[in-house]
Amino acid sequence: MRLFHFSEDPAIERFAPHVPATNPDHAARVWAIDDRHQSAYWFPRDCPRVTVWCDEDAGRFGQEFSTTARRLHAIETRWFPAMSTATVYRYLLPAEDFTPWAEADGQWVSTTPVEPLAVEPLGDLTNLHSDAGIELRAVESLWPIRDQVAASDWPFSVIRMMYAARRPA
């Protein structure tokens, strides 16, 4: 199993446990994502996004989300230019330092500092999505698709919504 951390900083030598600013009730930890779920982080750090995917029943998924892809990522239109210009780095982390985080599929945590094993730039993020067969959709507002996936039975992830445009009236 491979675990990763994504950052726009190419020079992180050590990840120290911290309390996420977005979740101040959580304990201090180092956060990682597994190989299967890593594409949820192929974005500029503060880019709000909704990701949804199917493990089976691709036909029903395609009908519900009007796509032929098995994975759909949505961002706000205003973030689309940054997808082509941001440089995001993928850090490979030692899996033995982590345990699964029960609150979210694919997320892992460590309560001790972690030193990365390697770091590499991802390259063009829009091409990365395309090459992986992920539909990258730019929408004016994330709220309708966020509400749709939250009400569905599909696995999904909603990240950085505090940076999203306001919910339409």
Burial of 141 (0-12, 13-18, 19+ CB in 10 A): middle
Contacts of residue 81, defined as CB under 8 A and 6 or more positions apart, other chains included, come to none
Strand order in the sheet with 118-121: 99-100, 107-110, 30-34, 3-7, 89-93, 118-121
Per DSSP, what are the bridge partners of residue 29? 18
- Asked if residue 89 belongs to a domain, the reply is yes
Assessment of whether the complete model's pTM goes beyond 0.85: yes
- Asked if residue 16 belongs to a domain, the reply is no
Token pair of 16, please? Answer: 């120290």
- Asked if residue 13 belongs to a domain, the reply is no
- Asked if residue 19 belongs to a domain, the reply is no
pLDDT at 168: 87
Q: What percent of the chain has pLDDT over 70?
A: 100
Q: Above 90 in pLDDT, residue 60?
A: yes
Mind listing the pLDDT tens digit for each residue in 93-141?
999 999 999 888 899 999 999 999 999 999 999 999 999 999 999 999 9
- Asked if residue 144 belongs to a domain, the reply is yes
- Asked if residue 21 belongs to a domain, the reply is no
Q: How many domains does the chain have?
A: 1
Q: Which amino acid is at 73?
A: H
User: Containing domain of residue 65, as a range?
Assistant: 3-7+29-162
